[in-house]
Amino acid sequence: MSDWRGILEAQIQMDPPALSVDDAAEIYSNAPLNELMFVAMERRKNQVPGNYVTYLIDRNINYTNVCTINCHFCSFYRSPGHKDSYTQTVDQISERIVELESVGGSRILMQGGVNPSLPFEWYTALLEELSRRHPKISLDCFSPIEIEGISEVSGLSTMEVLSRFRDSGLHGLPGGGAEMLVDNVRSGISPRKGSSNNWLRVMSEAQTLGLITSATNVFGFGESHVERVEHMEKIRSLQNETVAQGNPGFTSFISWPVMLENNAFGKMGIRRNSTGLGAGAVEYLRHVSVSRIFMNNIDHIQSSWPTMGLEVAQIALSAGADDIGSTMMEENVVSASGTTKTMASVDELERAILQSGFIPAVRDSEYNILNVLEQDRVALKVG
Cβ-Cβ contacts under 8 Å for 299 (sequence gap 6 or more): 47, 48, 251, 252, 322, 367
CA 354 to CA 252: how far, in whole Å? 22
pLDDT of residue 87: 83
304 burial type by CB count under 10 A (0-12 exposed, 13-18 middle, 19+ buried): buried
Three-state SS string across 67-90, please? Answer: CCCCCCCCCCCECCCCCCCCECCH
pLDDT per residue as tens, the chain (383 positions): 469 999 999 999 888 999 999 999 999 999 999 999 999 999 999 999 999 999 999 999 998 887 765 545 455 555 655 666 678 899 999 999 999 999 999 999 998 777 777 899 999 999 999 999 999 999 999 999 899 989 998 999 999 999 999 999 999 999 988 999 999 999 888 777 778 999 999 999 999 999 999 999 999 999 999 999 999 999 999 999 999 999 999 999 999 999 864 444 444 443 444 446 788 999 999 999 999 999 999 999 999 999 999 999 999 999 999 999 999 876 454 444 445 456 789 999 999 999 999 999 999 999 999 999 876 566 555 55
Look at residue 78 and give its three-state secondary structure.
strand
Which strand (E) or helix (H) includes residue 56? strand 52-56
CA 209 to CA 218: how far, in whole Å? 26
pLDDT of residue 337: 42
Q: How far is CA 153 from CA 117, 123, 166, in A?
A: 8, 12, 18
CA 310 to CA 343: how far, in whole Å? 11
pLDDT of residue 275: 45
Beta carbons of 302 and 349 less than 8 angstroms apart = no
Which strand (E) or helix (H) includes residue 27? helix 21-30
pLDDT of residue 288: 98
Domains in the chain, CATH or no CATH each:
18-49+63-298 (3.20.20.70)
Let me know the angle formed at the C-alpha of 16 by 12 and 20, rounded to the nearest 5 degrees.
105
Beta carbons of 281 and 317 less than 8 angstroms apart = no
In this structure, the dihedral spanned by the alpha carbons of residues 201, 203, 205 and 211, taken in order and rounded to 10 degrees, is 180
